[in-house]
Amino acid sequence: MDSWKVRDGNEKDMEGILSLRDLVFGEVERDKLDPRFWRWQIGENPDGTAWIHLAEDGNKIVGHLADLPKRFLVQGKLVLGTLTHDMMVHPDYRRKGISAATAEYAIHRVEREKGIFMTAYSIREESLNSLLKVGWKEVMRLPILVFPIRFHGIVNRYLRFESLSLLIGGVMRCFYFFLFGLRKKRKIEGAVVERVYEWDEMYDLFWERAKFIHPIMGNRNRSFLIWRYLRHPTRDYAIYRALQKGEMKGYIVLRKVDLLKFNSAVIVDLLALDDDTLSELVERGIEHSRQVGADLLGFMVPKRHPYDRSLRREGFLPSFKAFHFLVYSHRKEQILFDPKEWYVTWGDTDVI
């Protein structure tokens, strides 16, 4: 008979949770071991305090799963969902059903808290299988698009031979320029893209229009963006907004980070009212990435989404990396399982 049991967790469990994280994930996202990160994520989220689900053997935490309350707009209606994240099992307790048990416990807990549905972004097969086992559905795979900036840096990642990397990188750049570089960029009259360090009242007016662009997306009101990007205790983000004739038309959020083991920058979030604004913001994102010395710029977006097509036209290329996007719904709403309806980015996850 198993000696462990599943229970609700709280802030008093922080030390045990972080110790388990250090053991399970090691060098991956080390800043998540900082108590400031944990308190910010678990306790300061404007959508509510996280629900923690723990497997415990005696006084030892041997399994963990958390649900972060998250508001979504579904066809213009604001509803409560969650971001399910950080499934962890102590190495000595694997293959005992702990992952599935905490996942099933989480489903019932979220239902009691009146959550309509749950979302998860899985890259590990063991987490994916545990969620599928208890009734989650995979909605789609989320591919990572990449824009090459420094070809010799990308080649040198594999060759570790500087002079040869410069030569091969130069050939690749010429070929890439032939495919994408001859396209003329259309300038928008009166358009300005500027870096900002706060979200002001102008954003509220933009959001009132932007929140109806996509059938399903996470709530991006000002209080959420302030918490997500300006109050983060361990990560820094660069934010640019697009203006036209004094009106905000879109924004892009960027972060310098290692991606696919490359010196990279990533588009964490991107939202625009029209294609021209989207193009202007992406161009600024590329320029910013070049300025911070990144070899490539990455973006995660649903394959069927219009942004996927737009960025491919801008010169972004598919990579071999992808996340699994999963949903568990407490209601029989088929729209939640239609990949064409969703707009999600790295900003909707806790990964970047």
Alpha carbon distance 344, 304 (integer Å):
12
Task: Name the pTM for this structure.
Answer: 0.90
Residues 127 and 275 in one domain: no
Nearest to 47 by CA among 18, 19, 16, 81: 81
Residues 229 and 336 in one domain: yes
Among 114, 135, 156, the domain boundary falls at 135
Q: How confident is the model at residue 150 (pLDDT cuts 50, 70, 90)?
A: confident
Among 93, 113, 135, the domain boundary falls at 135
Alpha carbon distance 277, 117 (integer Å):
32
Residues 36 and 90 in one domain: yes
Residues 131 and 162 in one domain: no
Residues 308 and 162 in one domain: yes
Q: Is 231 helix (H, G, I), strand (E, B) or coil?
A: coil
What local confidence, expressed as pLDDT, does residue 157 receive? 52
Structure tokens at 17: 């949770």
How confident is the model over 333-339, as a mean pLDDT? Answer: 94
Alpha carbon distance 119, 348 (integer Å):
10
**Digit-coded pLDDT (tens) for 222-244:** 999 999 999 999 999 999 999 99
Mean pLDDT rounded to a whole number for the chain = 90
Nearest to 52 by CA among 97, 90, 16, 24: 16
The burial of 95, by beta-carbon neighbours within 10 Å (0-12 exposed, 13-18 middle, 19 or more buried), is given as exposed
Among 85, 110, 135, the domain boundary falls at 135
Widest CA span in the chain: 71
How far apart, in Å, are the Cα atoms of 162 and each of 153, 157, 158, 321? 9, 10, 11, 26
Whole-number CA gyration radius for the chain: 21
Alpha carbon distance 140, 312 (integer Å):
19
What is the 3-class SS of 138-167, one letter each residue? EEEEEEEEEEECCHHHHHHHHHCCHHHHHH
Q: What is the CATH number of the domain that holds 124?
A: 3.40.630.30
How confident is the model over 133-156, as a mean pLDDT? Answer: 83
Residues 124 and 194 in one domain: no
What local confidence, expressed as pLDDT, does residue 161 receive? 40
Structure tokens at 266: 């990533």
Q: Which residues of 306-344 are buried (b: 16+ CB within 10 A; e: fewer)?
A: ebbebbeebbbeebeeebbbbbbbeeeeeebbeeebbbb
Residues 186 and 335 in one domain: yes
Residues 313 and 178 in one domain: yes
Residues 199 and 343 in one domain: yes
Domain total of the chain = 2
Residues 289 and 152 in one domain: yes
**Digit-coded pLDDT (tens) for 250-271:** 999 999 998 667 789 999 999 9
What local confidence, expressed as pLDDT, does residue 77 receive? 95
Nearest to 179 by CA among 30, 286, 314, 41: 314
Residue 220 lies in domain: 144-348
Residues 189 and 326 in one domain: yes
Lowest mean pLDDT of 131-145, 168-182, 333-347, name the range: 168-182
What local confidence, expressed as pLDDT, does residue 121 receive? 97
Residues 75 and 23 in one domain: yes
What local confidence, expressed as pLDDT, does residue 191 receive? 83
